[in-house]
Amino acid sequence: MTAAREYEFTRRDFDFLRRLSNQHTGIVVTDDKFDMFYSRLARRVRALGLGSFAEYCNYLEHPDSDTEMVELVNALTTNLTSFFRENHHFEFLAGTALPDLVQRNRSSRKVRIWSAGCSTGEEPYSLSMVLQESSSLLNGWDVKLLASDIDSNVLRQAQAGVYPLARVEGIEKARLKRFFQKGSGSNTGKARVRSELRRAMEFRQVNLMNKLDVETQDIIFCRNVIIYFDKETKRKLLDKFAESLAPNGYLFVGHSESLHQVTDRFQLIGNTVYRKVR
């Protein structure tokens, strides 16, 4: 027997909220997310002191609801990540992409990498570890790493760079010793990334549905993000990525994502690794 809900939540409320979510994030919400929407947004109804989801929907229609829209997006976006997730991408970065860029960019001696959808920071810090380990290759180079997400809460966590010990258990011991230190005070029992991983790293809130105000990138990691979009939204975003990438730039996507029959601006060159072709 299903327990009674704290607040009334109708199909009309759900349809309004998922349409609003899609407008702001591009994420397509299917019918089976009804209960998920309730569980994640009930806390917002409670925090605002409202009596129902209908009142919450009305509240979001108010002209001054921008702050609450941020809270809604934060509540609904999924943030599942880990250090060196899909490790073959980081091996490709170190063994193929960076050596290639060193050859192609030898006149400018610049490398730009973007972690788009960085969540709580495990991906960009993993990228930063690879860059630090490639220091002999990149010695004297201007290397910058942009880490962005639509969710302001996870960005704050990423910037803090503090993780429960369980989150770093999968990192090999040499990396753990080099790049992390034990937390102290309120962070006792946790691991903190060392300052060297933060060098040349910028955290920024970016909504991928908006115009992308970023400098030209050599590499974009956008993994397990486009899977939530419909085909037309994927195509538009991939066009934006293509415009943001330098000629022959690299795009890394998630293991269950494919650009097949979505765009012809990228060529598959590895396991979910693409190169910009136009």
Catalytic residue among 40, 167, 192, 235: 40
Tell me how many degrees the CA angle 200-97-192 measures, rounded to the nearest 5: 40
For residue 15, indicate whether it is catalytic. Answer: no
Question: Residue 187 is encoded by which pair of tokens?
Answer: 């962070």
Which of 13, 112, 149, 265 is labelled catalytic? 149
Rg of the chain over CA atoms, in angstroms? Answer: 20
Cα distance between residue 54 and residue 57, in whole Å: 5
Q: Is 149 a catalytic residue?
A: yes
Active site residues: 40, 149
